[in-house]
């Protein structure tokens, strides 16, 4: 079985998809947290700027990951 | 049957398989989106259908040949392809009726393998390829997705625990639409190409195309449209199992499940490792239940689905071998006709039975199991009204 199964390839898939999945979910969740903070009426201006910056960074990260996905789909 | 008539029948059956592949696999991309009401059921399948068609045109590198590395390519004849496709359709329709998400690719591989054994014996099958490309990946795909999604769901829950319900609920739903679109695109590119490969192989085997010829444009158009139409019909029975059966999905869980599925499927494409999209999607949804606060998963249902995955290959192989046996027993003409009639009768009976307990866009999100304990969703799953 060890000769016919590409264990190394499977390991790479596990490692990269674990990293990618966790990073996207983390970025998006931080974006949600930032959005929630920015929307709070009691938030101070500095908090609000920080929250919107966080949201923008999270958005940029997600756009980058989605672009990576599209590149893989198209390059197949 | 003259070769050209048999070729036409093979192409027709391949298109029918592509159609069943479309409606069978709709759930992989849209089930969480529908279950969490990120999109209305009809809108979700329409979007997925369009993106499946677009996906079919995105890549023209149709390298996929039928059961490559699984059977001796030189021994494949049109009757084997025909029997394999019929076996795969039998299995796809059966699992659709029972609402079981199973791999269409594995059904096709099983059908062709069974027909090949009946045609040329077990020596024509590359058993190492079966283990390396089907058996092991079919175990790894759901296991990887389950583990990653459980971790991602738990992490997302912790990161957003103090966020407002509105921000959480709406953002996660928007994120789900994006990841669902990416999955549909990937599905159109991967799965429509498999059928394109089948038809191209049949054309080459018949001498209509030279071995080095590119896939004709009409094949790409027909396969893309068949896949899109199948997706648009919506395999509601399987969408219901995936969206409501395994666990009660909150928007956070749905988002984590779809991101995990996209990440695993795209990464496996990148490394050229064949992982079943269905196995990944189902594993992600179960994983989202494991990672939720209540850790509620219907393990009996998950076990039933896993059992179906284990018997997909032998069951489709038996069907494929049976249909090929008919052509050997009754002659090619009689065998092909009887095979088609049996398939049509079977599909008609299954469709008629499915009308008794009809599942469609209007009841796909109804509560799972009247007598079962209801699974409560997590706090952010406030209902959002959407038009059906």
pTM (predicted TM-score)? 0.88
Q: Which residue has the higher pLDDT, A52 or B145?
A: B145
Q: Whose structure tokens read 């090619």?
A: B332
pLDDT at B321: 96
Pick from A13, A25, A62: CB nearest B144: A13
CB contact under 8 A, A22 and B155: yes
The pLDDT tens digits of the residues spanning B94-105 come to 999 999 999 998
**CB neighbourhood size of A26 (10 A):** 16
Mind telling me how many Å the CA of A33 is from chain B's nearest CA? 5
CB contact under 8 A, A10 and B175: no
Please, are residues B323 and B87 in contact by the beta-carbon 8 Å criterion?
yes
Question: Per mean pLDDT, which of B74-78, B283-287, B354-358 is the most reliable?
Answer: B283-287
Q: DSSP letter string over A12-69?
A: HHHHHHHHHHHHHHHHHHHHHHHHHHHH-TT--HHHHHHHHHHHHHHHHHHHHHHHHH
The pLDDT tens digits of the residues spanning B150-206 come to 999 999 999 988 888 888 888 888 888 988 998 898 888 778 888 888 888 888 878
Q: How many CA atoms lie within 13 A of B244 on its CB side?
A: 19
The pLDDT tens digits of the residues spanning B10-30 come to 999 999 999 999 989 999 999
- Taking alpha carbons only, the member of B71, B69, B100 closest to residue B84 is B71
pLDDT at B165: 83
**Taking residues B346-353, what's their average pLDDT?**
95
The region that residue B258 occupies, defined by phi over 0 for left and psi between -120 and 50 for alpha, beta otherwise, is alpha
CB contact under 8 A, A73 and B129: no
Burial of B260 (0-12, 13-18, 19+ CB in 10 A): buried
Centroid of chain to Cα B154: 27
- C-alpha B266/C-alpha B254 separation (Å) is 18
Please, are residues B139 and A27 in contact by the beta-carbon 8 Å criterion?
no
CB contact under 8 A, A21 and B152: yes
CB contact under 8 A, B159 and A22: no
CB contact under 8 A, B264 and A74: no
pLDDT at B278: 92
Q: How is residue B329 written in tokens?
A: 């027993």
pLDDT at A22: 93
The pLDDT tens digits of the residues spanning B217-253 come to 899 999 999 999 999 987 899 999 999 999 999 989 9
For residue A48, list chain B residues with Cβ-Cβ distance below 8 A: none
Model ipTM value? 0.85
Which of B58, B187, B267, B288 should be substituted to probe chain A, the one whose Cβ sees the most A Cβ atoms within 10 Å? B267
Helix axes B165-205, B251-271, angle to 10 degrees: 30
**CB neighbourhood size of B377 (10 A):** 21
- B69 pLDDT band (50/70/90 cuts)? confident
pLDDT at B13: 95
For residue A74, list chain B residues with Cβ-Cβ distance below 8 A: 58-59
The pLDDT tens digits of the residues spanning B103-135 come to 998 999 999 999 999 999 999 998 888 888 888
CB contact under 8 A, B186 and A69: yes
Indicate if the pLDDT at residue B376 is higher than 70.
Answer: no
Residues 16-55 of A with CB under 8 A from B: 16-18, 20-22, 24-26, 28-33, 35-37, 39-40
Please tell me if residue A71 touches chain B, with a CB cutoff of 8 Å: no
């Amino acid at each position: 079985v060890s000769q016919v199964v590409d264990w190394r390839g499977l390991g790479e898939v596990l490692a990269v998809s674990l990293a990618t999945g966790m990073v996207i979910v983390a970025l998006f969740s931080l974006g949600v947290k930032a959005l929630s903070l920015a929307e709070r009426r009691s938030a101070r201006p500095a908090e609000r700027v920080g929250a919107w910056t966080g949201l923008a960074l999270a958005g940029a990260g997600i756009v980058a990951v989605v672009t990576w996905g599209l590149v893989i789909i198209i390059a197949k | 049957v003259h070769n050209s008539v048999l070729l036409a029948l093979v192409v027709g059956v391949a298109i029918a398989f592509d159609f069943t592949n479309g409606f069978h696999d709709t759930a992989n991309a849209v089930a969480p989106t529908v279950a969490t009401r990120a999109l209305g059921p009809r809108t979700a399948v329409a979007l997925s259908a369009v993106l499946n068609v677009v996906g079919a045109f995105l890549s023209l590198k149709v390298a996929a040949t039928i059961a490559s590395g699984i059977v001796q390519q030189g021994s494949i004849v049109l009757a084997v392809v025909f029997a394999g496709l019929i076996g795969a359709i039998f299995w796809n329709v059966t699992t659709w009726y029972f609402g079981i998400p199973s791999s269409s690719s594995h059904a096709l591989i099983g059908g062709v393998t069974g027909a090949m054994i009946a045609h040329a014996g077990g020596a024509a099958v590359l058993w190492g390829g079966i283990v390396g490309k089907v058996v092991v990946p079919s175990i790894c795909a759901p296991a990887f997705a389950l583990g990653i999604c459980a971790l991602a769901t738990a992490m997302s829950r912790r990161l957003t625990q103090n966020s407002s319900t509105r921000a959480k609920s709406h953002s996660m739903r928007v994120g789900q639409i994006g990841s669902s679109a990416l999955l549909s695109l990937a599905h159109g590119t991967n799965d429509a190409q498999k059928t394109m490969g089948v038809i191209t192989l049949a054309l080459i085997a018949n001498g209509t195309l030279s071995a080095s010829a590119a896939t004709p444009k009409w094949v790409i158009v027909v396969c893309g449209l068949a896949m899109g139409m199948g997706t648009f019909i919506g395999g509601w029975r399987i969408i219901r199992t995936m969206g409501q059966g395994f666990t009660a999905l909150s928007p956070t869980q749905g988002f984590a499940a779809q991101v995990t599925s996209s990440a695993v499927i795209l990464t496996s494409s990148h490394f050229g490792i064949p992982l079943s999209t269905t196995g990944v999607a189902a594993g992600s949804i179960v994983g989202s239940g494991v990672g939720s606060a209540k850790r509620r998963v219907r393990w009996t249902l998950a076990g039933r689905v896993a059992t179906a995955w284990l018997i997909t290959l032998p069951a489709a192989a038996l069907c494929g071998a049976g249909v090929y046996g008919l052509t050997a027993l009754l002659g090619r003409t009689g065998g092909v006709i009887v095979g088609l009639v049996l398939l049509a009768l079977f599909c008609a009976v299954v469709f008629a039975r499915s009308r008794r307990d009809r599942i469609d866009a209007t009841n796909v999100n109804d509560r799972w199991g009247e007598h079962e304990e209801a699974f409560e969703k997590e706090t952010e799953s406030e209902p959002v009204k959407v038009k059906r």
